[in-house]
Amino acid sequence: MEYNLKMLEKLAKETLSEKRYHHTACVAAQAKHLAEIYGCDLMKAQVAGWLHDICKEMGREEQLQWLTKYGIILDMVQRSQPKTWHGMAACGFVKFQLGIEDADILRAIRYHTTACGDMKPLDEVVYLADLTSADRDYPDVAHMRQLAETSIKPAMKYAMQYALSDLVARCQGISRDSFEAYNYYTQF
């Protein structure tokens, strides 16, 4: 299916702050780049890139409404981490507000923050695009970008080690999805 990327870009520009819009544009570009490397659907990667943070700046109550509408029930750890809700909420927004029902796109959006134990190639591409987009500037980002462009499974392993060590360092809970992703990628 074809999607109107210009319309999605316009929606992001109208919905998000300037900083979040810039990040979103960078993620969409990086998702396309990584999709080219790993043979994923370029259109789906860009759609997920443009929409991955579409609910990021919504209030908590609105995010909860969208994720509930999509049928997601938060567990105890997820409830305590509202910064991760936007991906799940975006599934509801994208499906019911925009009429995009493609399961691959919705799944990549849903898991772009937490990952999960049975990630598909598009999920991995969008997760890594968010982590390695041109606007990202954290210690070791150059190494993460190099891994993301070289070998996707070791890149995901490194990303999960980074993410979980950060959660542990901040005394945060680890969601079941992230825990299962970590366990899965330790084999690579």
Domain boundaries, the chain: 5-185
Are the CB atoms for 58 and 83 separated by under 8 Å?
A: no
Residue % of the chain over a pLDDT of 90: 98
Instruction: Please return the burial class of 186, using the count of CB atoms within 10 Å of its CB with bins 0-12, 13-18 and 19+.
Output: exposed
Alpha helices by DSSP H, the chain? 5-15, 18-38, 42-51, 60-70, 76-79, 85-92, 103-110, 121-132, 141-150, 152-169, 176-185
pTM over 0.85: yes
**93-107 mean pLDDT:** 98
The reply to whether CATH 1.10.3210.10 applies to domain 5-185 is: yes
- pLDDT of 1 reads 72
Q: Is the confidence at residue 119, as pLDDT, over 80?
A: yes
- pLDDT of 34 reads 98
2 confidence band (pLDDT: 50, 70, 90): confident
Summary mean pLDDT of the chain: 96
